[in-house]
């Protein structure tokens, strides 16, 4: 009996992984970095789908991973839509320098849900969001915003660079561990526990404070605002961002900006 069980444990587990995300976000390069330890800077669009196999060891088990690398371009929808079914994990990639690629993530999740016949199957997919190209600048999507989006969907979040390799191995390790755990759990994904502890509103306020061009804009008030209006707006934002209470990344810097914006506006009133 014991012998049988260990023999069963030795049989490689077969899993299916797919890649999703807009064209040029770096899906193929992330996979290449992991499987072949190299990076190609020239853009070679995936035509329809690419397929590869890799063997890994996860939680003391041999795992044979079948990777279906999808083309992100909309013209390939008819080709890639065949490949969603029966997959257990996905990398969902956006380019941190391209805001549209981040804003498209919801559409990708929708496409995945549509292509899975059974809703519970897509709900049990283990998804790793890759905020890719962290080696390049400027950033159009902050880490806090990316993390919040992933967290609110029950997905893992990693900052990656296919060019330098940063974050890539850790991301795949988490993906494979998540998939193996799901398989061992009879196909049911382990419940996702959020550890972020901050809200979308906090992220939006931090971004507004950091990116606005005037103090009125920072506080969200009109140029003719009274002392009272300024203090009211200040208090509302201070509650959201006080560094003793807020764990949202960037709170401390945003709080300092808030304090100096309020001081400058009050001076103008006196």
Q: What are the residues binding Mg ion (CB under 5 A)?
A: 27-28, 46
| Cβ-based nearer residue to ligand GTP, 11 or 42 | 42
CB of 46 to Mg ion, least distance (A): 3
Among 57, 110, 120, 136, binds ligand GTP (CB under 6 A): 136
Using the minimum distance from each CB to Mg ion, give the nearer residue, 46 or 88: 46
Of 27 and 133, nearer to Mg ion (C-beta) is: 27
246 touches ligand GTP by CB under 6 A: no
Instruction: Say how many residues make up the chain.
Output: 270
Report the distance separating Cα 76 and Cα 101, nearest Å: 17
162 interacts with, out of Mg ion, ligand GTP, none, CB within 5 to 8 A per kind: ligand GTP
Q: Which two tokens stand for residue 83?
A: 């490949």
Q: Which long-range contacts does 207-216 make (Cβ < 8 Å, 24+ apart)?
A: 207/142, 207/145, 209/237, 209/241, 209/254, 209/257, 209/258, 209/261, 210/250, 210/253, 210/254, 210/257, 215/261, 215/262, 215/264, 215/265, 216/265
**Residue 101 engages ligand GTP in binding (rule: CB under 6 A):** no
Q: Is 104 in the site for ligand GTP (CB under 6 A)?
A: no
Instruction: Name the residues that contact ligand GTP, by CB under 6 A.
Output: 21, 23-29, 40-46, 71-73, 132-133, 135-136, 161-163
């Amino acid at each position: 009996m014991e012998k049988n069980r260990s023999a069963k444990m030795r049989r490689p587990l077969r899993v299916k992984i797919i890649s999703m995300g807009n064209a040029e976000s770096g899906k193929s390069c992330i996979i290449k970095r992991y499987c072949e330890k190299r990076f190609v800077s020239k853009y070679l669009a995936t035509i329809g789908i690419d397929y590869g196999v890799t063997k890994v060891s996860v939680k003391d088990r041999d795992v044979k991973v079948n990777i279906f690398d999808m083309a992100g371009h909309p013209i390939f929808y008819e080709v890639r839509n065949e490949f969603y079914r029966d997959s257990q994990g996905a990398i969902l990639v956006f380019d941190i320098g391209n805001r549209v690629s981040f804003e498209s993530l919801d559409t990708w999740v929708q496409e995945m849900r549509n292509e899975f016949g059974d809703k519970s199957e897509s709900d049990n997919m283990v998804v790793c969001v890759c905020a890719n190209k962290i080696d390049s600048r400027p950033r159009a999507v902050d880490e806090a915003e990316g993390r919040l989006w992933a967290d609110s969907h029950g997905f893992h979040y990693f900052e990656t660079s296919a060019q330098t390799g940063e974050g890539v191995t850790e991301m795949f390790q988490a993906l494979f561990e998540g998939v193996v755990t799901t398989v061992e759990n009879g196909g049911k994904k382990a419940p996702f526990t959020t550890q972020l502890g901050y809200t979308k509103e906090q992220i939006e306020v931090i971004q507004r404070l950091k990116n606005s061009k005037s103090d009125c804009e920072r506080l969200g008030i009109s140029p003719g605002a009274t002392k009272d209006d300024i203090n009211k707006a200040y208090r509302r934002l201070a509650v959201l961002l006080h560094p003793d209470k807020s764990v949202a990344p960037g709170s401390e810097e945003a709080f300092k900006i808030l304090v100096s914006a309020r001081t400058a506006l009050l001076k103008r009133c006196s």
